[in-house]
Chain A
Amino acid sequence: MNFVASSSGPLEWNYIAANFGYLASVVMFMLAIMRMGRVKTARSGNFLAAAAMLLAVVSSFVEMGKINPAFIIAGLVIGGAVGAIMAKRVQMTQMPEMVALLNGFGGLASTLVGLATFYALSGGGNLSMMMIRDGGWFGAINLVLTLIVGSVTFTGSIIAFLKLSEKMSGRPILLPMRHVLNALLLIIPLAMGVAAVWFVSNPILVGLILIGIVLITFVLGVTIVIPIGGGDMPVVISLLNSYSGIAAALAGFTIGEAVLVVSGSLVGASGMILTQIMCKAMNRSLANVMFGGFGAEPAAGGGGGGEYVGVKSADAETAAMIMQDAQNIVIVPGYGMAVAQAQHAVREMAKILEDKGATIRYAVHPVAGRMPGHMNVLLAEANVPYEQLFEMDQINDDFRNVDVVLVIGANDTVNPSAKTDKTSPLFGMPVMNVEEAKTVFTMKRSLGGGFAQVKNTLFECPNNYMVYGDARKTLEEIIKALKEG
């Protein structure tokens, strides 16, 4: 419902019709999100959400009535085409950066809506005029907040995109005095916002202040995300997802449109839930992830230091031979599988082993990879049925009954010292009990540290064998050996 329009003049038929359209689309969005939460109904849920969006756009045209829509249509056509091409071209392994990029565009769109609303409503006048006409201080404050949240979402997502696509190092970059800097970069725009809403009446000056707010919070988005390392990206990407929803809801407050408020809040809530799940899976607080600079340097002492002692290794043929006789096999994928694009080779190997009578299961840690559910998407791409994918909690007590565990490019999520070593930075993080299996093969390029830069005591376990090399090449050698054997 557009509360701005409702307060001016008699109700028109197109206003009423449009609002029934908005109401229907809100209901559809709710149902869609519900359906997207179950595997069987997920796809239809997504379709329903797209239909709801279309209905909302059509309703908006109806509400606006007789206008010149040239610029709207130009935007729709250009944006729609770019979006469609991006969606068609992107590879499944690139999904984390794609999500980050789209998220950033959403944030920037909200920022621009905020700025455009100012210029539209002020119409050459000023913000205080707009306040009187349309939303009072409430609309004006929300306009400022839309600018702030939208801008942080934009540049934060762009940095996340650069890190995820490895156009920029995934290592944390720690600026001196970064907490003070971040606080200033938030307080200054807020103060400028207060000035724009209550104390400045010159329209040109207000416009400049608003642009200044946008530019400063662009910097804030960068400084917030650069200290966060690649392994913590599942949290960041969920949080930015939530922000993009909140920005849309705030834009809804600014223009007095309830559809934006409802849909934006739904996204805000879903992003927050994912953020919580990811933090819980690492046993770390959101504050620690955001401000802790985790993974910046090798951990001192405890689990961090020390050379590896007594590490055994095996070649692909040996691994193939042992797996050939195994009944109960669990595959534990991690970010390394995505980097090596090894998901198809994994599936091919699993198929051969299944034909030989083995049971194959996949154990997926909640923060494996670079975004929530990253491994699941890659394995689905390789046609692994989702029934074979198990959550950590479902499978963790069963590792002792497993013949062979194959760890593919996972590291911190299978480090037993997280359970035992109180000095380890990983201590307390729930990990997979892979060392309880009879035999473990760990595919890895070297003994180098994982994201947390912590020594992995799994590698020293007597039942663990390192299989060095690129995961995909190693898997192809195993497949060859299995076929010959």
Chain B
Amino acid sequence: MDTGAILMLLYVFVLACFAGYQLISKVPPTLHTPLMSGANAISGITILGAMLAARIGPGAPFNASTILGMLAVALASINVVGGFMVTDRMMGMFKSKN
């Protein structure tokens, strides 16, 4: 990763924080819990890093990284699957009068 790539990632980071703040700042209190558990599931995106570590292939022999990666994949999957499903359950309960 050269300096240009690092700077590009920093730009991405700053813009994403800004976008996130704008997108979420006006959420009604009714949705606070499901938004939190949905966001929680999204933070399971760390699963991509876990998958990279858990693979076996060219340049990635079986070693400590593989096992740590598998554990990370499992934990992140709990987060992702559990998070989205439970959020769906909650959101499904919000009903209008009609």
| A interface residues (Cβ-Cβ under 8 A, vs B) | 3-4, 6-7, 29-30, 32-34, 36-39, 42-43, 45-47, 49-50, 53, 56-57, 60-61, 64-72, 74-76, 78-80, 82-84, 86-88, 90, 92, 95, 98-99, 102-103, 105-106, 108-110, 112-113, 115-120, 123-124, 134-136, 138-139, 237-238, 241, 244-245, 247-249, 251-274, 277, 364, 366, 371-374, 376-377, 380-381, 383, 385-389, 391
Inter-chain contacts of A6 with B (CB < 8 A): 5
Contacts of A271 in B (CB 8 A): 36, 39
- Write the chain A residue with the least CB distance to B63: A119
Of B20, B53, B85, which one neighbours A116 at CB under 8 angstroms? B53
Of A86, A98, A116, the contact of B50 (CB 8 Å cutoff) = A116
Number of contacting residues on B, CB 8 A?
Answer: 86
Q: Bound complex: CA of A32 vs CA of B84, how far in Å?
A: 12
Measured between C-beta atoms, what is the minimum distance from A423 to chain B in Å? 30
| Contact between chains at A260 and B48 (CB < 8 Å) | yes
Q: Are B38 and A47 in contact (CB under 8 A)?
A: no
Q: Tell me whether B54 and A71 are in contact (CB under 8 A).
A: yes
A38–B23 Cα distance when bound, in Å, is 11
Known contacts A109-B76, A376-B33: A264-B9 contact under CB 8 Å:
no
In the complex, what residue of chain A is closest to B44 when comparing beta carbons? A106
> 6 A-B residue contacts at CB 8 Å?
A39-B30, A43-B94, A87-B85, A113-B50, A266-B19, A383-B93
Give bound CA distance, A456 to B53, whole Å: 55
B29: min CB distance to chain A, Å: 6
Mask for B9-43, Cβ within 8 A of A = 1, else 0?
Answer: 10011001101110111111111111111111111
Q: Which of B39, B68, B80 contacts A267 (CB 8 A)?
A: B39
| Cβ–Cβ contact B1 & A39, under 8 A | no
Instruction: Tell me, in angstroms, the Cα distance from A34 to B52 when the chains sit together.
Output: 29
A401 and B80 alpha carbons, distance in the complex (Å): 46
Q: Please state if A259 and B94 are interface contacts (CB–CB under 8 Å).
A: no
Q: A119-B64, A265-B16 given as contacts; is B49 within 8 A of A251 (CB)?
A: yes
Q: Which residues on the B side are within 8 Å of A272 (C-beta)?
A: 21
Nearest B residue to A271 by beta-carbon distance? B39
Kindly list 4 other residue pairs between chains A and B, CB separation below 8 angstroms, not including A72-B54, A249-B16: A36-B38, A79-B73, A80-B77, A255-B49
- Asked if residues A120 and B39 are in contact (CB atoms below 8 Å), the reply is no
A113 in contact with B49 given A69-B55, A83-B85 (CB within 8 Å): yes
Contact mask for chain B residues 56-77; partner A; CB cutoff 8 A; 1 contact, 0 none: 1110110111111111111111
Q: Which residues of A contact B67 (CB under 8 A)?
A: 71
Are B96 and A386 in contact (CB-based, < 8 A)? Answer: yes
Tell me the minimal C-beta distance from B58 to chain A in angstroms: 8
Is the CB–CB distance between A56 and B39 below 8 Å?
no
**Contacting residue for B94 out of A45, A109, A386, CB 8 A:** A386
Query: Contact at B43–A267, with CB atoms within 8 Å?
Result: yes
Residues of A near B93 (CB, < 8 A) are 92, 377, 380-381, 383
Contact call A87/B65, Cβ cutoff below 8 A: no
A-B pairs with the 7 shortest C-beta distances? A79-B77, A75-B73, A269-B20, A373-B32, A83-B82, A67-B57, A83-B81
> A46 and B38: CB pair below 8 A?
yes
Q: Is the CB of B86 within 8 A of A267?
A: no
Q: Which A residues touch B52, using CB under 8 A?
A: 60, 64, 117, 120, 255
* CB contact under 8 A between A247 and B46, given known A30-B23, A34-B23: yes
A7 touching B17, Cβ below 8 Å: no
Chain A residues near B12 (CB, 8 Å)?
A: 258, 261-262
- Say yes or no: A124 contacts B63, CB within 8 Å: yes
Q: Is B33 a contact partner of A84 (Cβ separation < 8 A)?
A: no
Q: Which of B5, B8, B50, B63 contacts A75 (CB 8 A)?
A: B50
Partner of A273, one of B21, B34, B74: B21
Partner of B20, one of A33, A72, A84, A115: A33
Which of chain A's residues have a CB closer than 8 A to the CB of B39?
33, 241, 245, 266-267, 270-271
| Chain B nearest CB, measured from A24 CB (Å) | 14
Across the two chains, which residue of chain B brings its CB closest to A119?
A: B65
Closest Cβ of chain B to A18, distance in Å, is 10
**Chain A nearest CB, measured from B65 CB (Å):** 4
B17 touches A373 (CB 8 A): no
CB < 8 Å neighbour of A249 from B13, B31, B86, B89? B13
- Nearest A residue (CB) for B69: A116
Q: How far is the CB of B75 from chain A (nearest CB, A)?
A: 4
Instruction: With a 10 A CB-CB cut-off, give which of A39, A65, A82 has the most chain B CB atoms.
Output: A39
Q: Of A47, A270, A277, which is within 8 A of B88 by CB?
A: A47
Give Cα distance in the complex from A54 to B44, angstroms. Answer: 11
Q: What separation, in Å, do the CA atoms of A377 and B37 have in the docked complex?
A: 12
